[in-house]
Amino acid sequence: MSLNVKSERDLPTAAPPLSVHPVPGLPEVQPGDDLAGLIAQAAGSHGLALQDDDVVVVAQKIVSKAEDARVWLDTVTPSSFARQWAERWERDPRLVELVLRESRRIVRMDRGIIIAETHHGFICANAGIDLSNTGSDAVAILLPKDPDRSARLLREGLHVHTHQNLAVIISDTFGRPWRRGLIQVAVGVSGLTPVIDLRGLPDADGRTLQATELAVADQLADAAGLVCGKADRMPVAVVRNYAGPRGDGRAAELVRSPEDDLFR
């Protein structure tokens, strides 16, 4: 067994490196825009013709904008609970109200910050709501209602525009316990397997791996984040030469059931 492993290690990889390409030149996305068309065009006009098996990673915010998942804060009437909490922590009561509406459970609520479990099952600050002043007044941008569906539609749209079989990840920027700094996670997936199960494969020492699942969709989102940054200037990146399995995965698979989660 160890001989086998050694000989595999000594093989040079002929495969090209994984590469992560920012897609510049995307216009400000508007409600109703054909986002797939805009992405295909921006990529093509910057010398990045999309290819079979490319993974297109798209920031949640522009997907939400294209789907018009926006709420003008002026239209929101805060509950008394939202009002008193917002007052205590000097927050906008209308935003607090919206966060509560987008949540099925509050995980933590302290020092002006709300960690919420969204209706999708994601756990993140402010239920994933971004504030934006696209025009005159403050506008809240919600997570897409069904980000896996958004990813699938985007993938189908990209196929129409490029005739290539791509995978799509819709990414968002989340905090996490115990470690500083935000990372990227996949909130929507289409065309790839988001969690790879390595159980039963031998490791380098010949031991059989047990219960080793890799969240590759989150890792792909993180890789894309390295060229995108948080300042939203570059909401799309393409990961090329990712060798992992494709298929019918959904980001919903990344949500861990409480009874299965010793970390929580």
Which residues between 99 and 118 bind its own copies (CB under 8 A)? 107-108, 110-111, 113, 115
Distances (CA, A) of 65 to 32, 143, 168: 8, 10, 17
Q: Which of 33, 41, 44, 46 binds its own copies (CB under 8 A)?
A: 46
Q: Does 227 bind its own copies (CB under 8 A)?
A: yes
Sign of CA pseudo-dihedral 163, 164, 165, 169: negative
107 within 8 A of 117, measured Cβ to Cβ: yes
185 within 8 A of 192, measured Cβ to Cβ: no
Pick between residue 97 and residue 130 the one whose CB is nearest to its own copies: 130
Pick between residue 76 and residue 107 the one whose CB is nearest to its own copies: 107
Pick between residue 73 and residue 239 the one whose CB is nearest to its own copies: 239
Pick between residue 144 and residue 235 the one whose CB is nearest to its own copies: 235
Distances (CA, A) of 220 to 55, 116, 118, 133, 185: 8, 24, 22, 30, 8
- Which residues, numbered 123-142, are part of the site for its own copies (CB under 8 A)? 123, 131-134
Pick between residue 120 and residue 155 the one whose CB is nearest to its own copies: 120
Q: Does 209 bind its own copies (CB under 8 A)?
A: yes
Q: Which of 31, 32, 37, 206 binds its own copies (CB under 8 A)?
A: 206
Q: Does 88 bind its own copies (CB under 8 A)?
A: no
- Which residues, numbered 155-174, are part of the site for its own copies (CB under 8 A)? 173
141 within 8 A of 61, measured Cβ to Cβ: yes
Pick between residue 85 and residue 242 the one whose CB is nearest to its own copies: 242
C-alpha torsion angle, residues 240, 235, 174, 193 (rounded to 10): -30
Q: Which of 33, 44, 149, 244 binds its own copies (CB under 8 A)?
A: 244
Region of 67-75, 95-103, 161-169, 188-196 interacting with its own copies (CB under 8 A)? 188-196
* Smallest gap from residue 12 Cβ to its own copies (A): 5
Q: Which residues contact 250 (CB under 8 A, 6 or more apart)?
A: 148, 189, 190, 194
Q: Which of 218, 236, 249, 250 binds its own copies (CB under 8 A)?
A: 218
Q: Which residues contact 118 (CB under 8 A, 6 or more apart)?
A: 102, 103, 104, 124, 127, 128, 143
Q: Provide the CB-side half-sphere exposure for 260 (13 A, CA).
A: 6
Q: Does 230 bind its own copies (CB under 8 A)?
A: yes
